[in-house]
């Protein structure tokens, strides 16, 4: 793992949260999109050396809705940018890490993504994200 690509932050409502990041903190909005298979709407924000991903639940099911219900708004995950995600997943699996899926999912911007169970990572949910040759991978 060489580089953090983004930090995921669960929010109830992106529209309410955005002015804090853009107007108050002076950061730049890169784009907003829905990731249906994860039941979230996401906003990517340029924070210089890293991006912030605001995650708003779509509906009452899905990981973000559940997270907010149990723990409230706040930092949800840290995503490492990787290449060759399947190889990385296999390496981690061989080292005993509990991955949350066998195959990568399609995440924001068409990137391939996979998650490590927080119980395997001392309480932190980590994501691997592989933008491959997708021009807008994670915006």
Binding site for ligand CMX (CB under 6 A): 8, 35, 38, 40, 42, 55, 63-64, 66-67, 70, 76-77, 100, 107-108, 115, 117-118, 123-125
**Of the two residues 43 and 125, which places its CB atom closer to ligand CMX in the complex?**
125
**Of the two residues 70 and 95, which places its CB atom closer to ligand CMX in the complex?**
70
Report d(CA 93, CA 4) in Å as an integer. 20
Kindly state the smallest distance separating residue 8's Cβ from ligand CMX, in Å. 5
Kindly state the smallest distance separating residue 43's Cβ from ligand CMX, in Å. 11
| Half-sphere exposure in the Cβ direction for 37 (13 Å, CA) | 11
- Residue 61 sits at φ, ψ, to 5 deg, of -110, 175
For residue 8, count CB atoms less than 10 angstroms from its CB and return exposed for 0-12, middle for 13-18, buried for 19 or more: buried
**Of the two residues 16 and 37, which places its CB atom closer to ligand CMX in the complex?**
37
């Amino acid at each position: 793992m060489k580089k953090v690509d983004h930090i995921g932050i669960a929010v109830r409502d992106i529209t309410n949260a955005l002015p804090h990041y853009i107007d108050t903190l002076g950061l730049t909005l890169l784009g907003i999109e829905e990731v249906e298979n994860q039941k979230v709407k996401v906003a990517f924000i340029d924070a210089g050396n890293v991006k912030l991903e605001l995650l708003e639940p779509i509906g009452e099911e899905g990981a973000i809705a559940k997270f907010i219900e149990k723990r409230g708004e706040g930092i949800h995950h840290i995503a490492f940018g990787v290449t060759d995600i399947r190889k990385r997943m296999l390496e981690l699996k061989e080292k005993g890490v509990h991955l949350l899926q066998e195959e990568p999912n399609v995440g924001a911007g068409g990137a391939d993504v996979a998650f490590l169970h927080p119980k395997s990572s001392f309480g932190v949910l980590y994501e691997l994200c592989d933008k491959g040759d997708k021009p807008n991978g994670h915006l």
